[in-house]
Amino acid sequence: MNAYKILVVTAVTAEAEAIRPGLDSDLIVVGAVGVGPAAAAAGTARLLATGSYRAVISAGIAGGFPGRATIGGTVLATRSIAADLGAETPDGFLPVEELGFGNSVLECDPALVKALSEALPAALTGDVLTLSTVTGTQATADRLAARFPRAVAEAMEGYGVASAALGAGVPFAELRTISNPVGPRDRAAWRLADAFAALRAAAPALKAIS
């Protein structure tokens, strides 16, 4: 069994290819596992079973909450939150905690967050939401912003990656770069090139924890 220090998990190959160049593959393994929390959890668990890792990083592009995260910026999660894990009721959304069925909030490892923050001093820290459905209306964006006042971004994999890392007893962190505002779906407003450029620029910071 090969031993590696850091596992970096992305959703899609394009994200992995933005991160991988310049990193020592003997120290940092980068793998794409699929879109969404279920694929992320299963793929991360599979990769963790192939080697010995001391940290897992969920990385990729994300939507940023307007007024909190800027397009092309970099964010580091302090917590990864499964924002749609729970139940809909006539009185509003009930998180899974209130149903007595588990936990929708997973803390990122403070030492990893500190190391990444020091390597990326311009990065914004805050909660990153995991959703199975990308926000596409202003009403949903407003509800999420009100429910999660510390949320800086939303993506689709962090909580799944974190769950697999927790199950394996491996510290976890989440790094995202912002491609679009959370809100009405408008592909013309997405700045994927800026987000991928930021992801490439942030990748060397992973060496700080390797």
Render pLDDT for 108-156 as a digit per residue (tens, 0 to 9): 999 999 999 999 999 999 999 999 999 999 999 999 999 999 999 999 9
Measured CA distances, 9 to 63, 81, 93, 185 (Å): 18, 17, 30, 26
Render pLDDT for 58-100 as a digit per residue (tens, 0 to 9): 999 999 999 999 999 999 999 999 998 878 888 778 777 777 7
Query: What is the C-alpha separation between 181 and 199, in angstroms, rounded?
Result: 17
Query: Once rounded to an integer, what is the mean pLDDT over residues 45-58?
Result: 94
Torsions phi, psi for 44 (to 5 deg): -65, -45
Residue 13, helix vs strand vs coil: helix
Rounded to the nearest integer, the mean pLDDT of the chain is 93
Please say whether the beta carbons of 33 and 54 come within 8 A: no
Can you give the C-alpha Rg of the chain in angstroms? Answer: 16
Residue 10, helix vs strand vs coil: strand
Task: State the pTM of this model.
Answer: 0.91
Please say whether the beta carbons of 53 and 4 come within 8 A: yes
